[in-house]
Amino acid sequence: MGNVMKARDLVLIEGLEVRTVIGIYDWERDIRQTVRLDLEMAWDISKAGKSDDIADTLDYKAVSKRLIDYVEASSFGLIEALAESCATIILTEFHVPWLRLKMSKPGAVRGSENVAVLIERSA
């Protein structure tokens, strides 16, 4: 009778802004610019929903702190490369099975509010 879709719980981090060295132009290598991360991370929250214990869930504060520390210390030319590195950290260090990550560089193109890449990755 068709496929039954399994429920997918998500832990979200939205609008995480970090200042970093990002860009390919000489002037961009001498300043810090803001990048914005929006994350959707697959995680079964049912155990934490029953226990009400942080040990049973994906600690979004720990994920955020790790990404902030990494991005602040990084120096990439492209947001594509930074997005891939951030995705790898989340998948490997936090054992997230699937994620969607949007990496934005607000104001990168004159006349636009934002430019971004959106990637989905699985462990």
| Residues labelled as active-site residues | 105
Q: pTM of whole model > 0.95? A: no
Mean pLDDT per 10-residue interval, the chain, length 123 residues: 63 98 93 97 95 96 98 97 98 97 93 95 94
Query: How many domains in the chain?
Result: 1
Report yes or no on 3 lying in a domain. no
Report yes or no on 60 lying in a domain. yes
Residues 6+ apart with CB under 8 A from 40: 10, 11, 12, 99, 100, 101
Q: Looking at residue 114, which CATH number applies to its domain?
A: 3.30.1130.10
Report yes or no on 67 lying in a domain. yes
Six token digits for residue 83? 């997005």
Domain region containing 47: 10-122
